């Protein structure tokens, strides 16, 4: 998943798009595209081997501004409300036809 995100230019290191093989160091700023905003993190430490998700907060700190986090939360709430009503992303061809019929009335 990480290499796919790098190939799609959804990951930046110190402001530049990177490849998945790029090595990071302590103090680097990593930005990840979480549509529609860029979430940013500061590298606090690098483990010698793979670690579990519970240990990750010890190795990084999120530096995303509050405005971007609020925007993400608003989108999350909107998507949740849409799902509860029965709207799941793009309409299907059948739903588009029904919408077109509704607009014509």
| CATH class of the structural domain 1-64 | alpha beta
pTM over 0.85? The answer is no
Kindly state the tokens that stand for 21.
């093989």
**Residue 11: how many other CB atoms lie within 10 Å:** 20
15-63 pLDDT, tens per residue? 999 999 999 999 999 999 988 899 999 999 999 999 999 999 999 999 9
CA 70 to the chain's CA centroid: 14
Cα separation, 3 vs 33, in Å, equals 14
Per-domain residue ranges for the chain? 1-64, 66-105
């Amino acid at each position: 998943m990480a290499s796919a995100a790098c190939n799609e230019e959804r990951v930046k290191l110190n402001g530049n798009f990177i490849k998945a093989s790029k090595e990071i160091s302590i103090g680097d700023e990593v930005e990840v595209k979480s549509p529609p905003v860029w979430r940013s993190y500061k590298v606090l430490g690098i483990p010698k081997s793979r670690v579990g998700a519970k240990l990750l907060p010890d190795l990084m700190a999120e530096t995303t501004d509050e405005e971007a986090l609020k925007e993400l939360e608003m989108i999350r709430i909107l998507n949740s409300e849409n799902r509860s009503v029965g709207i799941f992303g793009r309409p299907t061809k059948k739903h588009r036809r029904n919408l077109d019929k509704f607009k014509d009335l």
